[in-house]
Structure 1
């Protein structure tokens, strides 16, 4: 390793000087290339070292150093030829070679470049169409959310309030059996198999009754049907299958023998499901006759008819469920077995 440590005379004592050996980094100390300047010494090709005036600076005088600085940074000390400014403002662009000095743009060239940077009419049109479709999609999503979720939430709350109010009035004796005005609640429908408990109001008006989550009684004009306490007749009810509380959504799952209970101020009327008509026309009002022709009933009796729209989420057809009364129980005797089980 002595060849890597050239000796030189000590400037003061005239004795040869040898730098101390650092045993930890000795493997890293390789001879520097000829002419290399480091730490104030320049190593020549023969291995002799010289000390330039300034450490880490190019050899030569002040003029040489200035010339080297101009070569590295340009005349004005910036990168790119104009003090590091925006090359595009002087005509420099992607097509110009790196490090070239740009030239100022003429007005024609500036306008041409500005027009080229603007989106075309087709791009603007496609963006506008895309925004319209996105907006329409968001509005449609909000509408579907309102129809399928919010209407149910609101209708359930309204129906629960009406049922509670009805039971409170019965307990206080404020309501008496008799004729009821349109939209007025007078009974509660229970379908235990479907976990349905919903008020029954007079009339089938959408805004006053059905859209509030209640079930409506066909009790007006040509569609007038009997009340539950009538000795014979057909007690007809209508309800939404989808949205607005959808109390009749799953009546297609009822099987013969399933209980349907109507609770009034004084009595419970218990019916057993008898038959179902899956599809019929909305104009088929014969399903509400005292003895419906499409049912299994053969003579006068005390019946109940549930009507709703079908298929789901449409109102094209009607689904009909019929039941026959099997028990009339005063409230004083407690709830019927169908509501206790």
Structure 2
């Protein structure tokens, strides 16, 4: 009688090994991808802030040395002065030392840091540079000046932009500003004190009226002004970590003095 030769089928074990290897490789890829995402988040939320704040701080110190004097630390205005500032009509700022509120004497070159903004309420000190380019201004932790708007102290609207998240995020907490808070702008020759007047919590990114000479919202007409004056506008993105809409804070010039 002829004996049957046993046949060993190994296909099932081979398929299982192949599946196991594929799962292991997929897990390694997932872990690697997760680590890369975490590194990217850390870079955006921590490293860019660290680098931009250091750069902005060096620029502020450089400007102060160039101007030949340490920048003064603004103190809160007395209550009666704040009330007077809010009730004063637009375009009629008080000037201390007998000097009227003036204008910047020279037009800065593109991306040049030429002023310092201080907002005591939220602890912000940052350089102001000409233009709002990302690489040359905003990503350095600077506050950017809309070139089509007025310069500090001039009649019109001194309009500024700053990052709300990452790259120094100087305007992250401008939503906390309230009527009566000070925004101090220092140039080589003059210190300008603006007082916050109103806030537009959210508007379209294309709402160009917010940085017009007489600032107003074209999207929400109940917000803004109707008369010429000396205004300041702070703009940033909202909600946080998006660039969908814009948050706007407006103020009026109430005082100027020589450095």
Q: TM-score range by the shorter chain?
A: 0.7 to 0.9
Number of positions where the alignment pairs a residue of Structure 1 with one of Structure 2? 215
d(CA) in 1 for partners of 2:226, 2:15: 81
Secondary structure of the 2:213 match is coil
Secondary structure of the 1:178 match is coil
Question: 2:244 maps to which residue?
Answer: 316
- In structure 2, stretches of 5+ residues that fail to align are 1-5, 70-103, 218-222
Question: 2:57 maps to which residue?
Answer: 160
Question: 1:136 maps to which residue?
Answer: 33
> Contact 1:270/1:328 (CA < 8 Å) preserved in 2?
yes
d(CA) in 2 for partners of 1:314, 1:264: 32
d(CA) in 1 for partners of 2:231, 2:237: 20
Q: 2:129 aligns with which of 201, 209, 230?
A: 201
Secondary structure of the 2:200 match is strand
- In structure 1, stretches of 5+ residues that fail to align are 1-108, 332-341
> Contact 1:177/1:265 (CA < 8 Å) preserved in 2?
no
Query: Normalising to structure 2: TM-score of the pair?
Result: 0.78
> By how many angstroms is 1:164 displaced?
1.0
Write out per-residue CA displacement over residues 60-115 of structure 1, whole angstroms, 9 at most, x where no aligned residue.
xxxxxxxxxxxxxxxxxxxxxxxxxxxxxxxxxxxxxxxxxxxxxxxxx9x989x9
Does residue 238 (structure 1) correspond to residue 180 (structure 2)? The answer is: no
Write out per-residue CA displacement over residues 283-323 of structure 1, whole angstroms, 9 at most, x where no aligned residue.
11110111123344331100000000000000011110000
d(CA) in 2 for partners of 1:228, 1:191: 15
d(CA) in 1 for partners of 2:20, 2:258: 76
> By how many angstroms is 1:207 displaced?
0.2
Write out per-residue CA displacement over residues 196-234 of structure 1, whole angstroms, 9 at most, x where no aligned residue.
000000000000000000000001xxxx0000132x100
Structure 1 stretches of 4+ with a deviation exceeding 4 A read 115-119
Query: Normalising to structure 1: TM-score of the pair?
Result: 0.60
Does residue 297 (structure 1) correspond to residue 221 (structure 2)? The answer is: no
> Contact 2:183/2:196 (CA < 8 Å) preserved in 1?
yes
- Give the aligned CA root-mean-square deviation in angstroms: 2.3
Question: 1:261 maps to which residue?
Answer: 184
- Bigger relative contact order, structure 1 or 2, given CA contacts below 8 A and separation 6+? 2
d(CA) in 1 for partners of 2:213, 2:14: 79
Does residue 189 (structure 1) correspond to residue 113 (structure 2)? The answer is: no
The structure that has the greater radius of gyration is: 1
> Contact 2:153/2:253 (CA < 8 Å) preserved in 1?
no
Write out per-residue CA displacement over residues 128-155 of structure 1, whole angstroms, 9 at most, x where no aligned residue.
1111111110000000000000000000
Write out per-residue CA displacement over residues 151-170 of structure 1, whole angstroms, 9 at most, x where no aligned residue.
00000011011111111111
Secondary structure of the 1:183 match is coil
Question: 2:74 maps to which residue?
Answer: none
Question: 1:225 maps to which residue?
Answer: 149
